[in-house]
């Protein structure tokens, strides 16, 4: 027992040393002001990777009869209750309260993976989008591909456009799709490397559903920036992200058909990149209205911790010990008429 305790303390010490102090100091100032007393417990989780949890999203296109019983033996349980307003039968995800990671599967050309490991909160934007069979769907900022894979666990779109502007991340996206989706469905999927800000003009009113999982100041990864100089540069560029996010949102609205809906998400706690971007969109576009997602939030409240005081069309998942999911901001909008 003493040896395992020493090893744990040693591991914690190594992880602690990797925390980038300049980023933590910046977050400390900003998030204490924005989150109040909630920030202390969130900070404790974000700075303690040994308490992070991982969900296991099963791949409905790859059958492994023993997988679910194996997960159950290791303390995993179904993550989402049947009371949710949207939960397709084929969508199966498992979580457990204990930290740790289920073994990852390596990419093997020609062989489908059986599951995808991810932060369970990243599935909430997909459930909020409510994709149905035959709909035309755009994942505007799709890499590394987890949400694209999750969408295809829910339904078979008529056309599914997965876009990623960054060349390296686009190749990652293509590999993810190859790892999880059978050849018979690949012809439904278009992978592109377009500037997301231009898609609305290139394909106006073409899609029924659009997911904008926007580039953001990823709080978890930024805290462990290996290069302090890069961290300082990131923090300087942080102010420009909300402008990019708004432009991506505006493009997404243009790409939507009247009556279509979009979900905007980030993995940051930052109000400037979350509520402020959505409020700017609602105030500047008369043909867009908010969509209430509070029923979904109530349905998953046992699994996730949310920031109180949010509007009904948005939610913010706060990591806490035992429910170390997030950060994840989700907001839903609907296009009511042509531009």
Ligand-binding site membership of 49 (annotated): no
Ligand-binding site membership of 145 (annotated): yes
Ligand-binding site membership of 68 (annotated): no
Catalytically annotated residue among 51, 93, 267, 285: 267
Ligand-binding site membership of 146 (annotated): yes
Ligand-binding site membership of 314 (annotated): no
Ligand-binding site membership of 144 (annotated): yes
Ligand-binding site membership of 25 (annotated): no
Q: Compute CA 176 distance to the chain's CA centroid, rounded to the nearest angstrom.
A: 15
Structure tokens at 133: 């069979």
Ligand-binding site membership of 213 (annotated): yes
Ligand-binding site membership of 141 (annotated): yes
Ligand-binding site membership of 110 (annotated): no
267 labelled catalytic: yes
Instruction: Give catalytic residue positions.
Output: 267
Binding-site residue positions for S-adenosyl-L-methionine: 141-147, 164, 195, 213
Residues making up the annotated binding site are 141-147, 164, 195, 213
């Amino acid at each position: 027992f003493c040896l395992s305790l020493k090893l744990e303390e040693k591991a914690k010490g190594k992880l602690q040393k990797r925390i980038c102090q300049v980023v933590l100091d910046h977050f400390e100032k900003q998030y204490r002001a924005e989150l109040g007393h909630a920030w202390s417990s969130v900070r404790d989780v974000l700075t303690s990777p040994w308490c992070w949890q991982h969900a296991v999203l099963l791949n409905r296109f790859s059958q492994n009869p023993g997988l679910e019983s194996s997960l159950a033996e290791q303390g995993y349980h179904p993550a989402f209750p049947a009371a949710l307003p949207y939960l397709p039968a084929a969508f199966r995800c498992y979580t457990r309260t204990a930290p740790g990671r289920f073994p990852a599967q390596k990419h093997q050309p020609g062989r489908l993976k059986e599951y995808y490991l991810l932060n369970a909160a990243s599935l909430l934007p997909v459930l909020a989008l409510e994709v149905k069979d035959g709909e035309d769907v755009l994942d505007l900022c799709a890499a590394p591909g987890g949400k694209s894979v999750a969408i295809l666990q829910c339904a078979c779109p008529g056309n599914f456009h997965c876009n990623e502007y960054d060349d390296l991340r686009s190749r990652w996206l293509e590999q993810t799709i190859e790892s999880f989706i059978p050849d018979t469905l690949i012809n439904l999927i278009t992978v592109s490397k377009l500037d997301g800000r231009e898609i609305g003009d290139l394909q106006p009113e073409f899609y029924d559903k659009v997911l904008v999982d926007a580039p953001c100041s990823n709080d978890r990864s930024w805290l462990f920036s290996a290069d302090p100089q890069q961290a300082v540069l990131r923090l300087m560029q942080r102010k420009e992200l909300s402008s990019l996010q708004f432009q991506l949102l505006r493009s997404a609205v243009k790409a939507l058909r009247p009556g279509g809906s979009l979900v905007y998400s980030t993995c940051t706690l930052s109000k400037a990149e979350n509520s402020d971007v959505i409020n700017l969109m609602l105030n500047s576009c008369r043909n867009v209205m908010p969509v209430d997602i509070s029923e979904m939030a109530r349905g998953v409240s046992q699994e996730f911790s949310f920031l109180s005081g949010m509007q009904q069309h948005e939610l913010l998942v706060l990591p806490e010990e035992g429910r170390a999911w997030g950060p994840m901001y989700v907001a839903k909008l609907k296009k009511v008429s042509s531009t």
